[in-house]
A and B are shown apart, each in its own frame.
Chain A
Amino acid sequence: MLKSKTFVKKTRSGGIMKIVREHYLRDDIYCGSAACSVCPQKDQVLQRDTNLESTLCARPHYLMPDTNVVMHQVDILEDLVISNVIILQTVLQEVRHRSAPIYKRIKDIIHNTEKHFYTFTNEHHRETYIEQEKGENANDRNDRAIRVAAKWYTEHLKNAADKDLRVILLTNDRKNKEKAEESGLLAYTCEEYVKSLVANPELVDRLASIPDNENVIESGRIIFQEHFQLSRLQQGIKSGTYLQGTFRASRDNYLEATVWVHGDNAENQEILIQGLKNLNRAVHEDIVAIELFPKDKWMAPSSVVLEDEGTAEDNIQFSLTFQLKMEIQESMLKNWRQYCGMLSKSQIKEAKKHLFTPADRRIPRIRIETRQASTLEGQRIIIAIDGWPKNSRYPNGHFVRSLGNVGNKETETEVLLLEHDVPHQPFSQAVLSFLPKMPWSITEQDMKNRIDLRHLFICSVDPPGCTDIDDALHCRDLENGNVQVGVHIADVSHFIRPGNALDQESAKRGTTVYLCEKRIDMVPELLSSNLCSLRCNVER
Chain B
Amino acid sequence: MAGIELLSDQGYRVDGRKPNELRKIQARMGVFSQADGSAYIEQGNTKALAVVYGPHEIRGSRSKSQHDRAIINCQYSMATFSTGERKRRPHGDRKSSEMTLHLKQTFEAAILTQLYPRSQIDIYVQILQADGGNYSACVNAATLAVVDAGIPLRDYVCACSAGFVEDTPLVDLSHLEESAGGTQLSLAVLPKAEHLALIEMDSRLHQDHLESMMDAATQACKDLYAVLDRVVRDHLQEVTTSIGE
Does B bind A? yes
A residues sitting closer than 8 Å to B (CB atoms) are: 2, 4, 11, 15, 17-26, 89, 96-97, 100, 107, 110, 119, 121, 123-124, 219, 346, 348-353, 371
In the complex the two chains form, is A121's CB within 8 Å of B3's CB?
Answer: no
In the complex the two chains form, is B23's CB within 8 Å of A350's CB?
Answer: no
* A24-B15 CB under 8 A given contacts A100-B2, A352-B3, A353-B1: yes
In the complex the two chains form, is B8's CB within 8 Å of A89's CB?
Answer: yes
Most chain-A CB neighbours within 10 Å: which of B2, B10, B14? B2
In the complex the two chains form, is B85's CB within 8 Å of A119's CB?
Answer: no
In the complex the two chains form, is A124's CB within 8 Å of B16's CB?
Answer: yes
CA distance A96 to B8 in the complex (A): 12
In the complex the two chains form, is B3's CB within 8 Å of A351's CB?
Answer: yes
Chain A residues with Cβ under 8 A from B15's Cβ? Answer: 21-24
A interface footprint on B10-34 (CB within 8 Å = 1, 0 otherwise): 1010111100000110000000000
In the complex the two chains form, is B8's CB within 8 Å of A97's CB?
Answer: no
Q: List 21 A-B contacts (CB under 8 A).
A: A2-B24, A17-B84, A21-B14, A21-B45, A21-B174, A22-B44, A23-B15, A23-B16, A24-B15, A24-B16, A89-B8, A89-B10, A110-B9, A346-B2, A348-B2, A348-B5, A349-B166, A350-B2, A350-B180, A351-B1, A352-B3
* A124-B1 CB under 8 A given contacts A19-B84, A22-B45, A22-B174: no
Nearest-Cβ distance from residue A404 to partner chain B, whole angstroms? 20
Nearest-Cβ distance from residue A394 to partner chain B, whole angstroms? 14
Chain B residues with Cβ under 8 A from A119's Cβ? Answer: 8-10
In the complex the two chains form, is A350's CB within 8 Å of B6's CB?
Answer: yes
- The answer, among B14, B16, B180, for a CB contact under 8 Å with A25, is B16
Is there a chain A Cβ closer than 8 Å to B4's Cβ? yes
Chain B residues with Cβ under 8 A from A2's Cβ? Answer: 24
CA distance A2 to B176 in the complex (A): 17
In the complex the two chains form, is A22's CB within 8 Å of B10's CB?
Answer: no
CA distance A353 to B84 in the complex (A): 25
Nearest-Cβ distance from residue B148 to partner chain A, whole angstroms? 26
Is there a chain A Cβ closer than 8 Å to B244's Cβ? no
B35-94 contacts to A (CB < 8 Å): 44-45, 84-85
* A121-B1 CB under 8 A given contacts A22-B23, A25-B16, A371-B181: no
In the complex the two chains form, is A20's CB within 8 Å of B45's CB?
Answer: yes
In the complex the two chains form, is B84's CB within 8 Å of A121's CB?
Answer: no
Prevailing SS type, chain A contact patch: mixed
Chain B residues with Cβ under 8 A from A11's Cβ? Answer: 85
* A97-B1 CB under 8 A given contacts A17-B85, A22-B174: yes
Q: Which chain A residue has the least Cβ–Cβ distance from B23?
A: A22
* A107-B2 CB under 8 A given contacts A2-B24, A22-B44: no
CA distance A11 to B86 in the complex (A): 13
Chain B residues with Cβ under 8 A from A22's Cβ? Answer: 15, 23-24, 44-45, 131, 174
In the complex the two chains form, is A107's CB within 8 Å of B9's CB?
Answer: yes
Q: Which chain A residue has the least Cβ–Cβ distance from B175?
A: A21
CA distance A121 to B10 in the complex (A): 8
Nearest-Cβ distance from residue B206 to partner chain A, whole angstroms? 12
Q: Which chain A residue has the least Cβ–Cβ distance from B15?
A: A22
Chain B residues with Cβ under 8 A from A19's Cβ? Answer: 84
Most chain-A CB neighbours within 10 Å: which of B15, B44, B85? B15
Nearest-Cβ distance from residue B167 to partner chain A, whole angstroms? 12
Q: Which chain B residue has the least Cβ–Cβ distance from A351?
A: B2
In the complex the two chains form, is A350's CB within 8 Å of B4's CB?
Answer: yes
Chain B residues with Cβ under 8 A from A352's Cβ? Answer: 2-3
Nearest-Cβ distance from residue A77 to partner chain B, whole angstroms? 17
Q: Which chain A residue has the least Cβ–Cβ distance from B21?
A: A24
- The answer, among B3, B12, B85, for a CB contact under 8 Å with A124, is B12
Q: Which chain B residue has the least Cβ–Cβ distance from A97?
A: B1
In the complex the two chains form, is A96's CB within 8 Å of B24's CB?
Answer: no
CA distance A17 to B180 in the complex (A): 18
- The answer, among B9, B16, B84, for a CB contact under 8 Å with A26, is B16
In the complex the two chains form, is B3's CB within 8 Å of A350's CB?
Answer: yes
CA distance A4 to B10 in the complex (A): 22
* A24-B17 CB under 8 A given contacts A18-B84, A121-B12: yes
In the complex the two chains form, is B176's CB within 8 Å of A21's CB?
Answer: yes
Nearest-Cβ distance from residue B7 to partner chain A, whole angstroms? 9
CA distance A170 to B85 in the complex (A): 43
Chain A residues with Cβ under 8 A from B166's Cβ? Answer: 349
Closest 4 CB pairs of A and B: A124-B16, A350-B3, A24-B16, A351-B2
CA distance A25 to B8 in the complex (A): 15
Chain A residues with Cβ under 8 A from B176's Cβ? Answer: 21
Most chain-A CB neighbours within 10 Å: which of B4, B16, B24? B16
Chain A residues with Cβ under 8 A from B181's Cβ? Answer: 371
* A350-B1 CB under 8 A given contacts A22-B23, A22-B44: no
